[in-house]
Structure 1
């Protein structure tokens, strides 16, 4: 749940390790149905839950609670383990784990660091909870599991900290270069930044385009980071602002591209033009 770009790639990584990986694309877009290649597709969610020893949730953070509710409703007495690998706050991870436990499902808190797994790749998956070692032990090709604790919330805490840097930095580049382009100083700004960050300047177009293509789902992630930082008493203001900025970006033509389309863009002028 759900077999988009990340979820389907995780599924294929476990399938390459020898597992039977089932999913459903019922009610999903044609793009998702294409992304789910290589998985054993079943007609509906109850069929998926009934066939599973482990249900893995990979969805936008704002949907994590609804996905758990849908799985619990579909379980009909079956009690697979449940791994929530979504970008959610530790507090929400603990809440979802408690709800799963009340229904008899052991919940593993997880978070993903890096892009979708590829054959021979090394996508980090952090895991916490009593059954985290079991999930970590599932054979795979492309996943590097790491158990970081025996309680739900710990793996999500890792994600909230790392994502604040990765996705916050991408937004800073987007905002800075869009501003420079509109004020007529882009070349000078790129030359200056190139002195200190030559590799980042080289990939700026693709980085900005990819962030914009995912900006709609990043709004919820920034809100979860803000809640996490607020709970740690470091304040939520920075990522409240980032949530608002990603929300603005989500209304631009650049955001209407799929991640696959965005990955192909290399002309920074074109990318910045689509942010207008």
Structure 2
């Protein structure tokens, strides 16, 4: 299959950046923007993504569809695409790039493949690919090699196996480390602030753990506008670990931290509105002042 047109579900922060890279390197990208928000339409326009209106038209025109959504939307999006495929009888490559548990992506694969579509499990590690060399897309599945065509159009595609679930499993493991650490660090910094010990703690971390201090200075400011998306990702990680016979509680707790952030003024900003140069101390103060009462207290 030769890829000439890529359908994007959906052109949010990550999807739009992926589409922009593909556009800049000669591929046509399209999106179905009927009933989508004004922000999504603006992002699509900025990325030169063509609006084809309906999902049916997107499937008809696409050679490959990249599903880049919040985890909770992954299954329904796949179901809708499978339904359209059943109606129009179009052969496409469907790539699930969502942060979902391996057991869930296997169910999604069965759903999509039942309509005759080629399915690839993929996971995105790194920020939206606006800077070359910082974002990898790992892929797995029997026909994952098909996706490697996008290597010729600016994306770093790495096939890691022929089993659906391997790419998603890698994402779950990696995000458990990076976003799990960000959640734990955010909560402990809020705790230190409420104890009146934030300056003393930060001086100690900067002195004894300078690499960690540098990571937190970078990761927490960029996290706040994405916290609403990371809730579902932490829950998917929890389900992954539970399936493996490990404790899921750590990551349900991380989801609670991101739920707390989501409801603050910083959590309600879009990535475009977020001030990436906002001092970490100011961020922690705002989160501490605006956070809802303790989830532990609410749950008894």
TM-score interval, normalised by the smaller of the two chains: over 0.9
CA-CA distance at 1:205 after TM superposition: 5.2
1:21 paired residue number: 29
Q: Contact (CA 8 Å) 1:180, 1:186: kept in 2 or not?
A: yes
1:193 paired residue number: 205
Q: Distance in 2 between matches of 1:211 and 1:119?
A: 18
2:51 maps to 1:45: no
Q: Distance in 2 between matches of 1:203 and 1:111?
A: 22
Moved more, 92-101 or 34-43: 34-43
Cα distance change on mapping 1:269 and 1:138 into 2, 3 Å: closer
Scaled by the length of structure 1, the TM-score of the pair is 0.93
Q: What does 1:106-255 correspond to in 2, within 5 Å?
A: 106-118=118-130, 120-202=132-214, 204=216, 207-255=219-267
* Runs (5+) with no aligned partner, structure 2: 1-8, 291-300
2:75 maps to 1:62: no
Q: Contact (CA 8 Å) 1:10, 1:116: kept in 2 or not?
A: yes
Q: Contact (CA 8 Å) 1:226, 1:240: kept in 2 or not?
A: yes
Q: Contact (CA 8 Å) 1:194, 1:201: kept in 2 or not?
A: yes
Cα-to-partner distance string for 1:138-185 (whole Å, 9 max, x where unaligned)? 244542111011121110000000000110111122111111111111
Q: Contact (CA 8 Å) 1:85, 1:111: kept in 2 or not?
A: yes
Moved more, 39-48 or 54-63: 39-48
Q: Distance in 2 between matches of 1:15 and 1:183?
A: 50
Cα distance change on mapping 1:47 and 1:222 into 2, 3 Å: same
Cα-to-partner distance string for 1:77-105 (whole Å, 9 max, x where unaligned)? 22311000000000011100011111111
CA-CA distance at 1:203 after TM superposition: 6.1
Q: Contact (CA 8 Å) 2:11, 2:31: kept in 1 or not?
A: yes
Q: Distance in 1 between matches of 2:41 and 2:52?
A: 12
Q: Distance in 2 between matches of 1:42 and 1:12?
A: 17
CA-CA distance at 1:11 after TM superposition: 1.4
Cα-to-partner distance string for 1:178-206 (whole Å, 9 max, x where unaligned)? 11111111111110000233354356455
* Runs (5+) with no aligned partner, structure 1: none
2:10 paired residue number: 2
* Residue-pair matches, total: 276
Cα-to-partner distance string for 1:9-55 (whole Å, 9 max, x where unaligned)? 11122223322111122222222222222212212211111101111
Which of 78, 98, 101 aligns to 1:86? It is 98
Q: Contact (CA 8 Å) 2:186, 2:220: kept in 1 or not?
A: yes
Q: Contact (CA 8 Å) 2:123, 2:167: kept in 1 or not?
A: yes
Residue aligned with 1:78, SS? coil
Cα distance change on mapping 1:134 and 1:263 into 2, 3 Å: farther
Residue aligned with 1:169, SS? helix
Scaled by the length of structure 2, the TM-score of the pair is 0.86
CA RMSD of aligned residues (A): 1.8
2:46 maps to 1:34: no
